[in-house]
Structure 1
């Protein structure tokens, strides 16, 4: 089995549609799931959420947090409803994209906001 331009194009298309590696391997034929995953990794195709359905949760608890989850605190820590965001963390950061934008502001914007709040 070789990766022709047509097969790579088909892999990119199916991967973008959210198909699982096993489904892609079956459609391409004469290829394993692991070969699909390896090629997708080498091509730098974006990671995707697991196709395994998870129960909807209201964030994450301190015990359920992993390094790949957003650690933005939500609510009052004294409240029983307190939790962490728990969404997929942005690469290299402890927060999801939404919370990283709040936590990491450019110095110029931050200084301008301080001037407005002081006035």
Structure 2
């Protein structure tokens, strides 16, 4: 279907009357809603008359909480933002300290992003903003990006599912509480 002058004029007329692109496509025939939208944009048509549907909207009921009340509520999450960048915006915040003991890697074995090789462990050590930041660099485990030590930290074995655990280990209430069942006399 080609856009001829008659169809373009009809499109402009229907668009100015406030019809939707789907309604215009139905009236023109042989054209999709997306084709109508594309032609409207290419023609630069913008101003539309309001339709009866647009005029008869119902005002929404106001929410019980105001914006000021929402601002005074506690934050939903204890931590906000990227912890690596927090010190830049909150200088009084305590510096990051790793929670688990890290391997001590000699200076000559440390790798930067530029010196990493295909067989180097890619475990990041330290704060990326510090000059001391480096990667582990030890020989990695085949198929993993980390050495054996860091692979154990990164990949935890899956825990058995609760349903499977109950099938394998049936619960006997007396044994679960640590008491023995009384023997029949």
Report TM bin, short chain.
0.3 to 0.5
Q: TM-score, normalised by structure 2?
A: 0.29
Q: Which is bigger in relative contact order (C-alpha 8 A, separation at least 6)?
A: 1
User: Between Structure 1 and Structure 2, whose CA radius of gyration is higher?
Assistant: 2
Q: TM-score, normalised by structure 1?
A: 0.43
Q: Which has the higher helix share?
A: 1
